[in-house]
């Protein structure tokens, strides 16, 4: 299909022991093709995935894994149509939550529970149970979990030093606002923002809502209790987001900037902070103008600050649980490839290259990258893991959350009206 750019793989065979693949080798029919639709655009990761595919193909004669790429925003826009077309992928990237539920309800997915439980639960037993729970709907597993993560603030130590800001002492929202003001006073752009993609700014409202409502208050809103997402904690979250937006903390043109633009702004040293994923050490470098970005020793991390007097705590994390959904008519070999892809050896290699935190048991403990280890440690201590709201609340409510987050921070809507719009959409989706 013309909207999908296919990555060409190196045809050289990659040496791999037969024993390492025995557990996932299946009997393949002639010329079986697994269409793998992904969002990854970082060359080191793609190179590793090419190796993994070559390994699997070598151990499974007759199986071809066809890697297909869509950029993040294009993926979200085109996937619903693609799933109903003749070009439907065999497996594709998913964030879980409400989005996965909506996909499952269309009937386009295959329940992978039997595959997880085959051979005495061999595949299931290599994955963290909580990650499988996150992909489970009504007792059935609708996607293979692959990685988890946490959103944190990454900062440029040199720019912080120039402005007289100590990143290790930013604990509360008031501390954070004070840091933003000091950076601006020093002539430094405080934050890199990707307002054009919208979802990067939803991190701010989402985290503030988590801090203001706390785990119980958030759960109550999702359960439809009280005023729901139009309640006082969510309005207050909007007020704090509006307070930040009024300081004009982002780079010029941030409302039209993509996420990759924001990463480049941070990686080039043109902004002091970015609220971003656990893989930022890698992605800021690859998106920087010079292809190198900030030296890891110049990067610090601090968790999203708490709000004084509010119930949310610093160990309440916003982050994703992502994996791979299998479509109903995908070749039977698709689950076999996924079992190999999430196996300990492959997961460790992937973690080392992609700077990510796989859900395969025992892998997080082996992480040595200093920046990634900070995120892994934060996940190990967390008291609540909230999936991204634009995924957890479903595509329609999530889109409104993203829109309202941008509108609040750019001063286009009041926090009260934004919260009410989110609640109105939530009610329509859950009547």
Give the tens place of pLDDT for each residue, 133-143. Answer: 999 999 999 99
Both structure tokens of 238: 């909007």
* Residues of the chain by 3-state class (helix, strand, coil), percent to 5: 50, 15, 35
Q: Residue 53 and residue 40: Cα distance in Å, rounded?
A: 15
Helix (H, G, I), strand (E, B) or coil at 32: strand
Rounded mean pLDDT, 404-414: 98
pLDDT higher for 201 or 102? 201
> Can you give the pLDDT at residue 30?
52
Last residue of a domain, one of 374, 397, 417: 374
Sheet holding 152-156, edge to edge: 273-276, 152-156, 299-302
DSSP string for residues in 185-233: HTT---B---TTTSHHHHHHHHHHHHHHHHHHHHHHHHTT-TTGGGSHH
**Domain annotation covers residue 380:** no
pLDDT digits (tens, 9 = 90+) for 62-81: 999 999 998 888 888 888 88
Q: Which helix (H) or strand (E) holds 68?
A: strand 63-69
- Do 314 and 325 have their domain in common? no
Work out whether the CA dihedral 35, 39, 43, 45 comes out positive or negative: negative
Confidence check: pLDDT of 262 > 70: yes
Q: In 10 A of CB 39, how many CB atoms?
A: 15
- Residue 29 pLDDT: 46
Same structural domain for residues 364 and 300? no
CATH of the domain at 27: 3.40.190.10
Q: Which residue has the higher pLDDT, 102 or 293?
A: 293
- Position 379 in a domain: no
Residues 311 and 394 in one domain: yes
Cα gap 222→411, rounded to integer Å: 26
Question: Would you say residue 269 has pLDDT above 80?
Answer: yes
* Token couple for 17: 């022991």
Do both 165 and 271 map to the same domain? yes
Residue 201 pLDDT level (bands cut at 50, 70, 90): very high
Q: Which domain holds residue 176?
A: 152-318+385-429
- Separation CA 96–CA 88 (nearest Å): 19
Check residue 42 and give its pLDDT: 85
Q: Say what the pLDDT of residue 217 is.
A: 97
Q: What's the confidence (pLDDT) of residue 72?
A: 82
Residues 291 and 423 in one domain: yes
Instruction: Indicate if 164 and 310 belong to the same structural domain.
Output: yes
Residues 348 and 215 in one domain: no
CA neighbor of 151 nearest in space, from 375, 383, 360, 409? 375
Residue 54 · residue 13 · CB < 8 Å: yes
Same domain, 213 and 314: yes
Please state the domain count of the chain: 2
Q: Give me 343's structure tokens.
A: 């196996």
Cβ proximity of 328 and 108 under 8 Å: yes
CB 405 within 8 A of CB 198: yes
Q: What is the DSSP letter of 388?
A: P
Q: State whether 312 and 325 are in the same domain.
A: no
Whether residue 132 is found in the same domain as residue 23: yes
Whether residues 262 and 214 share a domain: the answer is: yes
**pLDDT higher than 90, residue 53:** yes
* Four-CA torsion 72, 53, 3, 323, nearest 10 degrees: -30
**What is the share, in percent, of the chain residues with pLDDT greater than 70?**
93
Phi first, then psi, for residue 174 (nearest 5°) are -60, -40
Pairing of strands 321-326, 91-94: antiparallel
User: Are 225 and 430 in contact, with CB atoms under 8 Å apart?
Assistant: no
Spatial CA neighbour of 373 closest among 389, 395, 351, 391: 351
Same domain, 176 and 310: yes
Tell how strand 299-302 and strand 357-358 pair up: unpaired
* Domain final position from 374, 400, 420: 374
Question: Looking at the DSSP assignment, which residues form a beta bridge with residue 6?
Answer: 68
Predicted local confidence at residue 322, as pLDDT: 92
Residue 357 phi, psi dihedral angles, 5° rounding = -120, 95
| CA distance linking residue 14 with residue 61, whole number of Å | 14
């Amino acid at each position: 299909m013309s909207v999908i750019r296919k990555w060409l793989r190196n045809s050289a065979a990659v040496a791999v022991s037969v024993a390492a693949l025995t557990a996932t080798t299946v009997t393949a029919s002639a010329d079986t093709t697994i269409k793998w639709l992904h969002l990854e655009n970082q060359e080191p990761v793609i190179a590793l995935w090419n190796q993994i595919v070559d390994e699997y193909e070598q151990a499974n004669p007759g199986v071809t894994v066809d890697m297909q790429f869509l950029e993040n925003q294009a993926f979200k826009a085109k996937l619903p149509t693609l799933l109903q077309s003749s070009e439907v992928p065999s497996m594709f990237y998913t964030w879980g939550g409400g989005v996965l539920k909506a996909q499952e309800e269309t009937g386009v997915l295959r329940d992978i529970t039997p595959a997880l439980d085959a051979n005495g639960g061999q595949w299931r037993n290599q994955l963290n149970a909580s990650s499988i729970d996150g992909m489970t709907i009504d007792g059935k597993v609708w996607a293979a979990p692959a990685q988890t993560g946490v959103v944190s603030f990454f900062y440029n130590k040199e720019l912080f030093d120039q402005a007289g800001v100590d990143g290790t002492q930013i604990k509360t929202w008031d501390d954070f606002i004070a840091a933003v003001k000091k950076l601006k006073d020093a002539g430094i752009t405080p934050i890199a923002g990707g307002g054009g993609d919208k979802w990067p700014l939803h991190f701010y409202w989402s985290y503030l809502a988590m801090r203001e409502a706390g785990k119980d208050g958030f759960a109550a809103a999702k359960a439809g209790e009280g005023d729901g997402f139009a309640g006082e904690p969510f309005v207050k979250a909007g007020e704090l987001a509006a307070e930040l937006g009024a300081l004009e903390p982002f780079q010029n043109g941030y409302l039209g900037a993509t996420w990759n633009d924001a990463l480049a702004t941070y990686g080039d040293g043109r902004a002091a902070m970015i609220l971003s994923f656990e893989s930022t050490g890698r992605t800021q470098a690859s998106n920087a103008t010079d292809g190198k970005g900030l030296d890891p020793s110049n990067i610090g991390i601090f968790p999203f600050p708490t709000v004084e007097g509010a119930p949310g705590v610093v160990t309440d994390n916003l982050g994703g649980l992502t994996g791979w959904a299998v479509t109903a008519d995908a070749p039977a070999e698709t689950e076999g490839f996924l079992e190999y892809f999430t196996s300990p050896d492959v997961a460790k290699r992937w973690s080392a290259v992609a700077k990510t935190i796989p859900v395969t048991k025992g892998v997080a403990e082996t992480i040595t990258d200093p920046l990634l280890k900070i995120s892994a440690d934060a996940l190990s201590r967390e008291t609540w893991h909230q999936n991204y709201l634009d995924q957890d609340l479903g595509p329609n409510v999530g889109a409104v959350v993203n829109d309202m987050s941008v509108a609040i921070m750019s001063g286009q809507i009041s926090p009260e009206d934004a919260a009410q719009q989110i609640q109105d959409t939530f009610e329509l989706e859950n009547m």
